[in-house]
């Protein structure tokens, strides 16, 4: 343990303590380490709470079980959306930002006291919003569209949480400035930090959009504003609601690169190409928010076409670049590691027994094949009418946020536990199984919801059987089958989620403390830290396996895209 005196924001010296990680050689600011820990712990707590609510939602939507009453269903659905789409993910992303700045750059964290203020604001905001929902009369669901009105402290909790998150993002920016001024790294910031910077920039836009609309909505809830225009609310709110998922995309792709580097020694195929793809996210990714507004008559056709074609395709191109460069970097590294036979020895002999790697690669595949392809379909103006406001929409974002982001965050936790919490992972056999259980469950949830949505199942209705409707209506047997399979998948994902929480909590409380000379259960690659913390591209062999995987992806993409155009043509003929 070493300490140095540095100038604080007020000009007075403060002592910064560092330790040197025996596995990475990186200097770790103790204040940053503590803030990473508390944000990660808060994230896991809200994941556990939100996951429980999600299981209750799935069991209610399963017609054979139909667990909750309508009142409880919408209450639980609201809590589920807030806890997993906002609180779990943003808490974890703040931990990622601190790690990508202070730890990867060997730098002290800027203003740790403000970091604690940010954390307290986020915790208070999240708790207040949850209390408002659980008290009843705030069951407005994740979107909280007017004229539905929640209690004032629901909006106030979200606003306080957003302020805390913005403060934490500002600390990340300040830490980058300190690292630059104190020359704690050479050349350009590493790609992982650049991706985190992309997420932070998008976060400013996203959280500002939330504040812009939630502050007047709060004033409306206390009676100081007479009316909130629903279309205006939707247009601004989705700048928060959907763009918050774009923070996730930038963050979890950064994690893909980091896990690839630390576990197999993967370097980017081209730093310039990968950084350009991240830059395209900043410029174009938020435009995907428009797909929630394509059925709104108040938005012009020109606005819809521009946002859902020419501009959004540039964001899609950025994701496709990462979809090539991440597995390509892993293949190049594995071939450098000696796995050169055939097109796929590098993949067959990858460290699948390491849950960090398996979780990352499953996240990569599922995000691309499920979340990515379905997102392009939803973002196409003409095709959107087939799925708009059906359960296809939550099916899509379970493919992005759950199978993509949440699984990636789970995967990197298996690295955070020994490197930051300094505890070796307990129950390695169960840890190896956990990403597969959760990933397959999440994939099933997404695909079966999308299947049910294609068959017309409503996005928000609590009872697809419409058992209490005055006018009889019956979905097809296929729709009931899809929702039943969705329920089974939710149980599988819940088992994987519970296992993750137990492993994390058990490791933090009872895991073997990492001491000098301790060999990790899931070791790092010898050249992994160099790959993760330094600017540099891979000059490797031909990437035959990646080329085949990308070709399979494009075939699936084209087939699914045009199948949906066939569905649309059938709809026109029917009319």
DSSP H/E element including 7 = strand 2-7
Q: What is the pLDDT of residue 575?
A: 52
* Highest mean pLDDT out of 140-149, 205-214, 438-447, 535-544: 438-447
Cβ-contact 142, 241 below 8 angstroms: yes
Which residues are within 8 A (CB) of 506 and not within 5 positions of it... i.e. 6 or more apart? 426, 427
Q: Which of 58-72, 301-315, 336-350, 435-449 has the lowest mean pLDDT?
A: 301-315
Three-state DSSP at 27 gives strand
Structure token pair of residue 317? 């191109």
List the one residue out of 105, 93, 96, 99 whose CA is nearest residue 33.
99
Bridge partners of 19, per DSSP, are 28
Which residues are within 8 A (CB) of 572 and not within 5 positions of it... i.e. 6 or more apart? none
Bridge partners of 18, per DSSP, are 2, 29
CA–CA distance, 436 with 359 (Å, rounded to integer): 7
**Helix ranges (DSSP H) in 62-111:** 70-82, 89-98
Q: What is the pLDDT of residue 8?
A: 46
Higher pLDDT, 498 or 243: 498
317: confidence class by pLDDT, cuts 50, 70, 90 = confident
Cβ-contact 353, 432 below 8 angstroms: yes
12: confidence class by pLDDT, cuts 50, 70, 90 = very low
CA–CA distance, 517 with 148 (Å, rounded to integer): 59
CA–CA distance, 409 with 439 (Å, rounded to integer): 12
Q: What is the pLDDT of residue 10?
A: 43
CA–CA distance, 156 with 154 (Å, rounded to integer): 5
2: confidence class by pLDDT, cuts 50, 70, 90 = low
CA–CA distance, 395 with 392 (Å, rounded to integer): 5
Higher pLDDT, 289 or 490: 490
Q: Is the pLDDT of residue 421 over 70?
A: yes
Q: Which of 184-188, 221-225, 544-548, 551-555 has the lowest mean pLDDT?
A: 184-188
CA–CA distance, 197 with 203 (Å, rounded to integer): 10
Structure token pair of residue 400? 């992005």
- For the segment 117-136, what is each residue's pLDDT rounded down to a tens digit? 999 999 999 999 999 999 98
Q: Is the pLDDT of residue 541 over 80?
A: no
The stretch 9-16 carries a mean pLDDT of: 52
b/e 431-454 (16+ beta carbons within 10 angstroms → b)? bbbbbbbbbbbbbbbbbbbbbbbb
Q: What is the pLDDT of residue 143?
A: 87
Q: What is the pLDDT of residue 497?
A: 96
The stretch 35-47 carries a mean pLDDT of: 96
Three-state DSSP at 340 gives coil
Cβ-contact 141, 77 below 8 angstroms: yes
b/e 47-64 (16+ beta carbons within 10 angstroms → b)? bbbbbbbbbbbbbbbbbe
DSSP state letters, 32-82: HHHHHHHHHHHHHHHHHHHHHHHHHHHHHHSTTT--S-HHHHHHHHHHHHH
Q: What is the pLDDT of residue 494?
A: 96
The stretch 349-368 carries a mean pLDDT of: 95
Q: What is the pLDDT of residue 14?
A: 56
Q: What is the pLDDT of residue 142?
A: 85
- Class of residue 228 by CB neighbours under 10 A (exposed 0-12, middle 13-18, buried 19+): middle
- For the segment 476-505, what is each residue's pLDDT rounded down to a tens digit? 899 999 999 999 999 999 999 999 999 999
Peptide bond connecting 147 to the previous residue in cis, omega within 30 degrees of 0: yes
Three-state DSSP at 42 gives helix
Name the CA dihedral angle for 180, 186, 188, 192, rounded to a multiple of 10 degrees: -90
Cβ-contact 171, 115 below 8 angstroms: yes
């Amino acid at each position: 343990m070493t300490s140095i005196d540095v100038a604080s924001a007020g000009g007075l010296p403060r002592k910064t303590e560092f330790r040197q990680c025996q596995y990475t050689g990186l200097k770790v600011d103790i204040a940053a380490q503590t803030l990473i820990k508390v944000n990660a712990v808060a994230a896991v707590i809200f994941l556990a709470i939100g996951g429980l609510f999600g299981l209750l939602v799935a069991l209610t939507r399963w017609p054979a079980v139909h667990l909750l009453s309508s009142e409880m269903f919408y209450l639980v659905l609201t809590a589920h959306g807030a806890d997993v789409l906002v609180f779990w993910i943003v808490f974890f992303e703040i931990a990622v930002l601190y790690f990508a700045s202070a730890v990867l750059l060997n730098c002290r964290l800027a203003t740790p006291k403000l970091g604690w203020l940010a954390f307290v604001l986020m915790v208070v905001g999240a708790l207040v919003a949850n209390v408002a929902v659980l008290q009843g009369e705030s069951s407005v669901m994740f979107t909280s569209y007017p004229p539905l009105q929640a209690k004032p402290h629901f909006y106030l909790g979200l606003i306080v949480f957003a302020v805390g998150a913005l403060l934490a993002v500002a600390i990340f920016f300040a830490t980058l400035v300190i690292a630059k001024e104190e020359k704690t790294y050479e050349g350009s910031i590493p790609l992982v930090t650049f991706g985190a910077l992309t997420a932070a920039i998008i976060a400013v836009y996203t959280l500002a959009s939330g504040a812009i609309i939630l502050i007047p909505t709060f004033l409306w809830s206390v009676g100081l504003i007479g009316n909130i225009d629903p279309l205006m609310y939707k247009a601004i709110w989705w700048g928060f609601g959907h763009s918050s998922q774009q923070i996730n995309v930038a963050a979890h792709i950064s994690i893909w690169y980091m896990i690839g580097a630390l576990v197999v020694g993967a370097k980017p195929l081209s730093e310039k190409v990968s950084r350009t793809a991240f830059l395209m996210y900043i410029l174009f990714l938020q435009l995907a928010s428009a797909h929630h507004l394509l059925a709104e008559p108040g938005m012009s056709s020109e606005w819809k076409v521009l946002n859902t074609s020419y501009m959004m395709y540039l964001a899609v191109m950025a994701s496709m670049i990462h979809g090539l460069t991440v597995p390509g970097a892993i293949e190049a590294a594995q071939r450098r590691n000696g796995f050169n036979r055939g097109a796929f020895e590098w993949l067959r002999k990858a460290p699948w027994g390491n849950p960090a790697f398996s979780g990352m690669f499953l996240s990569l595949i599922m995000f691309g094949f499920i979340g990515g392809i379905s997102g392009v379909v939803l973002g196409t103006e003409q095709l959107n009418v087939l799925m708009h406001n059906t359960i296809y929409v939550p099916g899509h974002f379970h493919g992005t946020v759950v199978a993509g982001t949440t699984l990636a965050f789970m995967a990197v936790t298996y690295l955070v536990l020994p490197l930051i919490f300094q505890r070796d992972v307990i129950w390695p056999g169960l840890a190896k199984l956990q990403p597969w259980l959760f990933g397959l469950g999440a994939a099933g949830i997404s695909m079966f919801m999308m299947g049910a949505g294609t068959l017309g199942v409503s996005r928000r209705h609590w009872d697809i059987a419409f058992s209490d409707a005055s006018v009889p209506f019956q979905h097809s047997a296929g729709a009931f089958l899809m929702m039943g399979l969705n329920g089974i998948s939710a149980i599988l994902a819940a088992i994987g989620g519970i296992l993750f929480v137990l492993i994390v909590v058990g490791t933090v409380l009872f895991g073997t403390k990492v001491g000098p000379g301790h060999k990790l259960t899931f070791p790092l690659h010898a050249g992994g830290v160099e790959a993760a913390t330094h600017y540099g591209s891979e000059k490797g062999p031909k990437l035959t396996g990646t080329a085949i995987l990308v070709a399979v992806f494009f075939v699936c993409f084209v087939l699914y895209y045009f199948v949906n155009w066939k569905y649309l043509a059938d709809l026109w003929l029917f009319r």
